[in-house]
Amino acid sequence: MPIQIINEQARLRLRYIDSVDGEGNEKLSTRSFSGVKTTAADEDLLEAAQTMASLQTKPVKHVIRAEEKEIIEA
């Protein structure tokens, strides 16, 4: 059965350490950036994330590339 991919989207998510409680548990917050080109290389996204992180006061714990694809029968 042939398939087709439509509505392809990509996002870049940065997870920041908001705070650490007395027991060492981290509270995280997430910032999402949409409009990421689906053809962008992972290395380029990491470099962009590191640049954005350098402008923040909170440390970045995770850099996440999230992709969504709709799969339909062709």
The percent of residues in the chain predicted with pLDDT above 70, rounded, is 100
Q: Starting at the edge strand that comes first in sequence, how are the strands of the sheet with 60-73 ordered?
A: 26-33, 3-20, 60-73
Would you say 34 and 9 are in contact if contact means Cβ atoms under 8 Å apart? yes
SS3 of residue 47 by DSSP:
helix
- The pLDDT tens digits for 11-66 are 999 999 999 999 999 999 999 999 999 999 999 999 999 999 999 999 999 999 99
**pTM (two decimals):** 0.81
pLDDT for the residue 37: 93
- Residue 74, pLDDT > 90, answer no
pLDDT for the residue 66: 96
Please, what is the average pLDDT of the chain? 94
